[in-house]
Structure formats: structure tokens, C-alpha cells
């Protein structure tokens, strides 16, 4: 909940197809109809879709951080030698962790409807037309999975960088052979490296994914048309819109949750 307003700001910046040339324009893009309202009203306008966000993030974190160790253990048991032969012992281990994260990331598209509804609430609330959750599910059905391919394409490298960056830090910076033996401090540094890499690597596809998902249900647009329009009208830098607020606030959120998971999961493993 604490980080939701910053996520809303990032999504609105990513959805903006124009160039922001002044503080007034930035204010209008972020706060929209409440741009000239009092500060408290502006702040509360950044919380649409909070319920969807809570459901999505809880399920995503459980699935992602809980599932990656199982995939990692499977790859270690059956394919560790292949990774070592291809990349060397230390690097191979880091890439194996990254690959496990990437495979888990692709599977996240199961939760896509909650993410789609969150983004529409944040950037295009008119798309709901006063309909509740159950009515939208009944009306739209599989349309809630629109952009699933682009989401998978975004999640795969993002999760690869998240788990791979963390594993690289533990391997190269701290010389750990057993990543589960990392201290709280080492897990924190590794999480910073992984989270930063993930946000940067996934940024371009995140913008495309957001623009696919923020459109009206009855007026979809393909990812390739969005890319063409962005290159023609906004330039290459448009693929990194919203990255600064994500790095400033979403980054710490990702660091905290990833650090907590990497620290507590091995601890629970010892107890159980």
C-alpha cells in the first residue's frame, strides 16, 4: 500500500504518449483531473486499483519467490553439469538460478487479469463503465489475458535479471558457494543488484505491456503497432518512461520483498 502511489505515477508516465516539457505538464500527466486540486486530494487520487494491486502482489510474491527455489533445485539436480560445462562452475551456477527465475516469470501470466484491472484503474478507469469485478470477468473473459505474450516476454528477462543479478552478487562479490548461507547484509546487497538489473532490463517491454493493457476493452492495439508509434512519435527514450520513479520507490519495494524471501526461505527450510 505504501508504494502504490509511486506505481500509479510510473504507470501514468508510461501511458503518456506526449512529451513532458514543463512542471505543469508533468503535474497534469500524473494527477490528471486533480492537477489543480489541494495536495491531499492529489495524493488520494494516486490510490486507484489498490485492491487489485494487493491481490496481485501477494499472489505474485508467493508464486515467484516460493516457486523459484523448486525450479532451481530441479535444474540443479538434473542439469547442473550442463550449465557448468557451458559457462564454468561459478557463472554456470548463477545462470542456472537466473534461468529458474526466468521460467517462473513466464508462468506469472496466470495472474495477468488482476494486473490488467489494476493498470486500467490507474490509467483508464473509464474502461470499467461502472462494472464490478465479477461483471467484468463475465463480460471480457479471456480478453483479460490480452497482452499475455508481451507480459511473458517482459517477465522472462526481468526475472532472469532479478535472480541472476542476485546470484551473481553472491557468487562474485561475496564468494559464496552455498547461496542459502548468505547473511542478511549479503542478501540485501544481492537483492539491490538483482532488483536494479530487473527494472532496467524489463523497462522497454514494461512500457509496451502497460500501453496494451491500459486501453479500452473494445479498442485493443497490438504491441507492434505501439512500438511503431512510439519510435515514430516519441523516440527511443520513450521505452524508459516511468523508470525513474520505479527505481526510486518500486526498486526498494522489490529489494525488501526479495531480500526478505531470500533470507526467510532458507531459514524455514532448516526448521522444516
Residue 262, C-alpha cell as written in the block: 531470500
Q: How many domains does the chain have?
A: 1
- Asked whether residue 207 is assigned to any structural domain, the reply reads yes
- Asked whether residue 201 is assigned to any structural domain, the reply reads yes
Dist. CA 45–CA 187, nearest whole Å: 35
SS (H, E, C) 87-131: HCHHHHHHHHHHHHHHHHHHHHHHHHHHHHHHHHHHHCHHHHCCC
pLDDT at 152 (0 to 100)? 95
Q: Is the pLDDT of residue 43 over 90?
A: yes
pLDDT at 245 (0 to 100)? 86
Q: Is the pLDDT of residue 272 over 60?
A: no
- Asked whether residue 29 is assigned to any structural domain, the reply reads no
Mean pLDDT of the chain: 90
Q: Is the pLDDT of residue 129 over 90?
A: no
pLDDT at 207 (0 to 100)? 97
Task: Indicate the pLDDT class of residue 41, thresholds 50, 70 and 90.
Answer: very high
pLDDT at 247 (0 to 100)? 84
pLDDT at 49 (0 to 100)? 94
Domain that holds residue 257: 49-271
Residue holding cell 558457494?
177
* Mean pLDDT calculated for residue range 233-245: 93
Q: Which residues contact 83 (CB under 8 A, 6 or more apart)?
A: 75, 92, 93, 95, 96, 99
- Asked whether residue 43 is assigned to any structural domain, the reply reads no
pLDDT at 268 (0 to 100)? 62
- Of 22-31, 191-200, 230-239, 242-251, where does mean pLDDT reach its minimum? 242-251
pLDDT at 250 (0 to 100)? 62
Q: Is the pLDDT of residue 248 over 90?
A: no
- Asked whether residue 80 is assigned to any structural domain, the reply reads yes
* Mean pLDDT calculated for residue range 59-64: 91
Q: Is the pLDDT of residue 117 over 90?
A: yes
Residue 82, C-alpha cell as written in the block: 550442463
Residues 165-213 have pLDDT tens digits of 999 999 999 998 888 888 888 888 888 898 899 999 999 999 999 999 9
Amino acid at each position: 500500500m505504501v508504494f502504490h502511489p509511486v506505481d500509479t505515477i510510473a504507470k501514468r508516465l508510461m501511458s503518456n504518449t506526449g512529451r513532458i516539457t514543463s512542471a505543469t505538464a508533468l503535474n497534469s500527466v500524473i494527477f490528471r483531473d486533480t492537477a489543480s486540486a489541494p495536495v491531499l486530494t492529489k495524493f488520494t487520487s494516486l490510490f486507484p486499483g489498490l485492491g487489485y494491486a494487493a491481490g496481485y502482489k501477494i499472489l505474485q510474491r508467493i508464486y515467484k519467490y516460493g516457486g523459484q527455489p523448486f525450479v532451481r533445485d530441479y535444474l540443479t539436480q538434473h542439469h547442473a553439469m550442463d550449465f557448468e560445462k557451458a559457462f564454468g562452475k561459478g557463472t554456470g551456477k548463477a545462470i542456472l538460478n537466473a534461468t529458474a527465475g526466468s521460467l517462473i516469470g513466464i508462468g506469472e501470466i496466470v495472474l495477468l487479469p488482476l494486473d490488467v484491472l489494476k493498470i486500467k484503474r490507474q490509467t483508464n478507469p473509464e474502461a470499467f463503465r461502472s462494472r464490478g469485478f465479477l461483471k467484468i470477468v463475465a463480460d471480457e473473459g479471456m480478453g483479460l489475458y490480452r497482452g499475455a505474450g508481451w507480459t511473458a516476454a517482459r517477465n522472462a528477462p526481468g526475472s532472469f535479471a532479478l535472480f541472476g543479478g542476485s546470484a551473481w552478487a553472491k557468487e562474485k562479490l561475496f564468494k559464496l558457494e552455498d547461496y542459502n548461507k548468505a547473511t542478511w547484509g549479503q542478501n540485501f546487497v544481492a537483492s539491490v543488484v538483482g532488483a536494479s538489473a530487473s527494472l532496467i532490463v524489463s523497462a522497454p517491454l514494461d512500457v509496451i505491456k502497460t500501453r496494451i493493457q491500459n486501453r479500452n476493452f473494445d479498442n485493443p492495439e497490438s504491441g507492434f503497432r505501439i512500438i511503431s508509434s512510439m519510435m515514430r512519435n516519441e523516440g527511443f527514450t520513450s521505452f524508459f518512461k516511468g523508470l525513474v520513479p520505479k527505481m526510486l520507490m518500486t526498486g526498494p519495494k522489490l529489494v525488501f520483498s526479495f531480500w526478505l524471501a531470500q533470507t526467510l526461505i532458507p531459514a524455514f527450510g532448516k526448521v522444516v
